Amino acid sequence: MKHKHYLTGIILTAAALALSLILYPSLPDRIPMHWNIHGEIDGYGAKSWAAFLGPGLMALMLLAFRFLPWLSPRRFEVADTGSRPTYLYIMVVIVLLIGYVHAVSVAAAMGWAGDVGRAMVAGIFLFFALLGNVLGKVPRNFYIGIRTPWTLASERVWYATHRLAARILVLAGAVGFVLVILTGWFVLSFVLLIAALLIPVAHSLIYYKRLQRQGLA
């Protein structure tokens, strides 16, 4: 199971690198690198490094996920026996997102994409929906998840917060994806996403204080 996920990540990284190498002679001197909240390109990078930034970040992410379990202190293991499939799934989803952003940037540079901003933002919302799908299974750790002082202080608060965050992120990701694709309402979609990220943080504080008053935290 472990090798399957890493193999998937390596294949995705190799595909992104191959895309850059094949198209490099045809790429313009500047490649789109950043989009604003309205889905408009507002930042570029020189192709000498921007063409390889995506594959490089994908490789670094695979390397980081390889060593995070070793770095995790006892009782805060990021990938124990029960949670390892979830941990590896998150790794693949993050690598896939970076690869997707890289592909859209290259397509925009080549003039292949139509509404690049819509494609980019829709992909980001889909990422959050996929991530939320497993967030409730992430064990308490220092690297992945809703890491507030209150979730790290209490395992009970951690799991309650992440179960809530999982439902909210899946919903916000799916609704945001549909809004962006069908209407192009970028600002409203990002407001929805920010709310989905802030609500679990507030919940972790409120729930921890409630447990504290009851002598359970």
**Which of 133, 134, 106, 132 lies closest to 119, judged by CA?**
106
Are 84 and 2 contacting, i.e. CB atoms less than 8 angstroms apart? yes
pLDDT tens-digit series, residues 59-77: 999 999 999 999 999 889 8
Split at pLDDT 50, 70, 90, the class of 16 is: very high
Residue 34's SS3 state is strand
Rounded to whole angstroms, how far apart are CA atoms 201 and 188?
A: 21
Mean pLDDT for the chain overall: 92
pLDDT tens-digit series, residues 126-150: 999 999 999 999 999 999 999 999 9
Per-residue pLDDT at 1 exceeds 90: no
How large is the average pLDDT for residues 24-37? 90
Give the pLDDT score at 118: 87
Give the pLDDT score at 184: 81
Query: What residues contact residue 109 under an 8 Å CB cut-off, 6+ apart?
Result: 27, 28, 30, 31, 32, 47
Per-residue pLDDT at 2 exceeds 70: no
Split at pLDDT 50, 70, 90, the class of 92 is: very high
46 forms beta bridges with: 30
Per-residue pLDDT at 84 exceeds 60: yes
Are 7 and 90 contacting, i.e. CB atoms less than 8 angstroms apart? no
132 forms beta bridges with: none
Query: pTM value?
Result: 0.90
Give the pLDDT score at 81: 66
How large is the average pLDDT for residues 96-122? 89
Give the pLDDT score at 113: 64
Give the pLDDT score at 60: 97
